[in-house]
Amino acid sequence: MRYLAAAGAVVVAMSGQGATTDQYLPPRLVEGPAPAPPGQQIVGGGEVLLDLTVGMDGQVSAVERLRVTPPYTDLVAEAVGSWRFSPAEVPTKEHRRRRVESHVLVAAVYRPPAGYNGGTLGEPPKDVAKPPPSLPMPRALIAPPYPPTGRGDSTVVLEVEVGPEGNPDAIRVVHSGGGFDSAAIQAAQAWSFAPARLEDRAVPVYAYVVMGFREPIVAGRGR
């Protein structure tokens, strides 16, 4: 498995480098902000799944909510709606390429600001729409542990290359959370996906994973 770190870079199927005209090239993020950190008054964790429609110009034309947890859904949707991608391309019969509209998965999981072994309050995640087959849907959203040496809240955004078998073939940090990056990568390594399918064929695609860390509330220590 390959891990590529690019702290400070912005950014989910194959790189365009070395691609031939008979390959599908999925959209890949070029630029865009990370989701804003949640407010200190938010007492629960959450899961968010979004389906981004990316037009032939690389702009996000629609954000479909698949799984929601208030208020995290709005935080993530607001950020990714302004992302810009290299548009998807498909081969043509003339052995050329043409741009097409495509879909991109954004999956976010936020740890609750609870004690290391305690529970927390908050709304449970709710599925509200069915994903298209072109999205690599995670079978489970595995949250990273809060690093023992961590302090404060942090957000890490990862680009995960999901192979045709549904495994994370490569992981790249696109928005660094400093000392939280390793925990985010290790958690994403354990994820598995239902492969993305294009015309009944499994294809490698990129998915974007947001890992939100909330500092645990420990008895006798303030945040």
Instruction: Tell whether domain 2-62+70-213 is in CATH 3.40.50.80.
Output: no
DSSP class of 74? H
- Residue-level pLDDT at 115: 54
Strand partners, 104: 52
- Residue-level pLDDT at 42: 79
Task: Find the mean pLDDT for residues 202-208.
Answer: 96
CA angle, 190 then 174 then 212, to 5°:
60
- Residue-level pLDDT at 151: 87
- Residue-level pLDDT at 55: 98
- By the 8 A CB rule, do 143 and 45 touch? yes
> Does residue 183 come out as left (phi exceeding 0), alpha (psi in the -120 to 50 range) or beta?
alpha
If one compares 49 and 217, the residue with the highest pLDDT of the two is 49
Where is 113: in which H helix or E strand? none
In the block, which residue shows the tokens 């957000």? 155
Residue range 111-140, pLDDT digits in tens: 887 654 444 456 889 999 999 999 999 999
State the Cα–Cα distance between residues 12 and 208, nearest whole angstrom: 5
Instruction: Give the residue extent of every domain in the chain.
Output: 2-62+70-213
pTM for this model (two decimals) = 0.85
